Chains A and B, each alone.
Chain A
Amino acid sequence: MPLNALGRDIPAFIEGYGKVKPYRGAFALQPSGNVVGPRLRVTNADRTDKVLPDLKAAIAASGLKSGMTISFHHHLRNGDYVVNQVIDACAEMGIRDLTLFPTALFGVHKHLIDHIQSGVVARIWGSVNGPIGQIVSAGGLGEPAVLRSHGGRPRAIMCGDVHIDVAFMAAPSCDRYGNMNGVQGPSACGSLGYAFTDCQYADCVVAVTDNLVPYPNAPISINQTCADFVVAVPSIGDPAGIVSGTTKVTRDPLRLLIARYASRLIEASPYFQTGISFQTGAGGIALAVTAFMKDAMLRKGIKGSFGLGGITSYFVDLLREGLVDKLLDVQSFDLGAVRSIAADPRHVEISADMYANPWNRGAAVNMLDVVILGATEVDRDFNVNVNTEADGALLHGIGGHQDTAASAKLTIIAQPLLRGRIPCVTDTVYSVTTPGECVDAVVTEYGITVNPRRADLVEACRGIRDVPVISMDELADKARRMSGPMDPVETTDRIVGVIEWRDGTVIDVVRQLKKK
Chain B
Amino acid sequence: MKTASAGTLESMDCLVTVTEAAPGSGLVVELEGNGVSRFRSAMEKAVRDTLEALGANDLTVNVNDRGALDVVLEARVETAVKRLRGER
Q: Are B69 and A482 in contact (CB under 8 A)?
A: yes
A420-B11, A421-B12, A482-B69 known; A487 vs B38 contact (CB < 8 Å): yes
In the complex, what residues of B have CB within 8 A of residue A484's CB? Answer: 39, 42, 69-70
Consensus secondary structure, chain A interface: loop
Interface size on B, residues (CB 8 A): 16
Chain A, residue nearest B13 (CB): A420
Within 8 A of A (CB), among B42-76: 42, 65-70
- How many angstroms from the CA of A489 to the CA of B36 in the assembled complex? 11
Q: Are A391 and B38 in contact (CB under 8 A)?
A: yes
Task: Give chain A's interface residues, CB within 8 Å of chain B.
Answer: 390-392, 418-422, 482-487, 489
Which among B38, B39, B69 has the greatest number of chain A C-beta atoms within 10 A?
Answer: B38
With beta carbons under 8 angstroms apart, the residue of B39, B66, B68 that contacts A486 is: B39
Q: Are A420 and B35 in contact (CB under 8 A)?
A: yes
- How many angstroms from the CA of A487 to the CA of B40 in the assembled complex? 7
Within 8 A of A (CB), among B12-46: 12, 34-35, 37-42
With beta carbons under 8 angstroms apart, the residue of A392, A422, A487 that contacts B67 is: A422
A482-B69, A484-B69, A484-B70 known; A421 vs B40 contact (CB < 8 Å): no
- How many angstroms from the CA of A489 to the CA of B37 in the assembled complex? 8
Q: Are B12 and A420 in contact (CB under 8 A)?
A: yes
Q: Are A421 and B68 in contact (CB under 8 A)?
A: yes
Min Cβ gap B2→A in Å is 30
Chain A, residue nearest B72 (CB): A421
In the complex, what residues of B have CB within 8 A of residue A487's CB? Answer: 37-42
Min Cβ gap B70→A in Å is 5
Task: Give chain B's interface residues, CB within 8 Å of chain A.
Answer: 11-12, 34-35, 37-42, 65-70
Q: Are A421 and B37 in contact (CB under 8 A)?
A: no
Which among A420, A422, A483, A486 has the greatest number of chain B C-beta atoms within 10 A?
Answer: A420
With beta carbons under 8 angstroms apart, the residue of B39, B40, B65, B67 that contacts A419 is: B67
- How many angstroms from the CA of A421 to the CA of B73 in the assembled complex? 11
Besides A422-B35, A485-B42, A489-B38, 10 new A-B residue pairs in contact (Cβ under 8 A), listed by A number = A390-B38, A419-B67, A420-B11, A420-B67, A421-B12, A421-B67, A486-B39, A486-B42, A487-B37, A487-B42
In the complex, what residues of B have CB within 8 A of residue A482's CB? Answer: 69
- How many angstroms from the CA of A426 to the CA of B70 in the assembled complex? 18
Chain A, residue nearest B33 (CB): A420
Chain A, residue nearest B14 (CB): A421
In the complex, what residues of A have CB within 8 A of residue B41's CB? Answer: 485, 487
- How many angstroms from the CA of A220 to the CA of B63 in the assembled complex? 58
With beta carbons under 8 angstroms apart, the residue of B37, B66, B67 that contacts A391 is: B37
- How many angstroms from the CA of A421 to the CA of B66 in the assembled complex? 8
- How many angstroms from the CA of A418 to the CA of B72 in the assembled complex? 15
Min Cβ gap A196→B in Å is 40
In the complex, what residues of A have CB within 8 A of residue B39's CB? Answer: 421, 483-484, 486-487
Min Cβ gap A270→B in Å is 38
Q: Are A390 and B66 in contact (CB under 8 A)?
A: no
In the complex, what residues of B have CB within 8 A of residue A483's CB? Answer: 39, 69
In the complex, what residues of A have CB within 8 A of residue B65's CB? Answer: 421
Which among B37, B39, B41, B67 has the greatest number of chain A C-beta atoms within 10 A?
Answer: B37
Q: Are A390 and B37 in contact (CB under 8 A)?
A: yes
Chain A, residue nearest B42 (CB): A484
Min Cβ gap B12→A in Å is 6
Chain A, residue nearest B66 (CB): A420
- How many angstroms from the CA of A391 to the CA of B38 in the assembled complex? 6
In the complex, what residues of B have CB within 8 A of residue A391's CB? Answer: 37-38
Chain B, residue nearest A516 (CB): B37
Min Cβ gap A172→B in Å is 38
Sample of 9 A–B contacts (CB below 8 Å): A391-B38, A420-B11, A420-B12, A421-B34, A421-B35, A421-B39, A421-B68, A482-B69, A486-B39
- How many angstroms from the CA of A486 to the CA of B37 in the assembled complex? 9
Chain B, residue nearest A389 (CB): B37
Min Cβ gap A206→B in Å is 42
In the complex, what residues of B have CB within 8 A of residue A422's CB? Answer: 34-35, 38, 67
- How many angstroms from the CA of A484 to the CA of B67 in the assembled complex? 12
Chain A, residue nearest B67 (CB): A420
- How many angstroms from the CA of A387 to the CA of B51 in the assembled complex? 38
Q: Are B38 and A486 in contact (CB under 8 A)?
A: yes
Chain A, residue nearest B68 (CB): A421
In the complex, what residues of A have CB within 8 A of residue B70's CB? Answer: 484
In the complex, what residues of A have CB within 8 A of residue B68's CB? Answer: 421
Min Cβ gap B39→A in Å is 6
- How many angstroms from the CA of A482 to the CA of B12 in the assembled complex? 12
Which among A391, A419, A484, A487 has the greatest number of chain B C-beta atoms within 10 A?
Answer: A484
**Nearest 5 CB-CB pairings of A with B:** A420-B67, A391-B37, A484-B42, A421-B67, A486-B38
Min Cβ gap A372→B in Å is 23
Min Cβ gap B29→A in Å is 15
- How many angstroms from the CA of A419 to the CA of B12 in the assembled complex? 8
Min Cβ gap A251→B in Å is 14
In the complex, what residues of A have CB within 8 A of residue B69's CB? Answer: 421, 482-484
In the complex, what residues of A have CB within 8 A of residue B12's CB? Answer: 418, 420-421
Which among B39, B40, B68 has the greatest number of chain A C-beta atoms within 10 A?
Answer: B39
- How many angstroms from the CA of A192 to the CA of B40 in the assembled complex? 45
- How many angstroms from the CA of A391 to the CA of B37 in the assembled complex? 6
- How many angstroms from the CA of A485 to the CA of B39 in the assembled complex? 7
In the complex, what residues of A have CB within 8 A of residue B11's CB? Answer: 420
Min Cβ gap B72→A in Å is 9
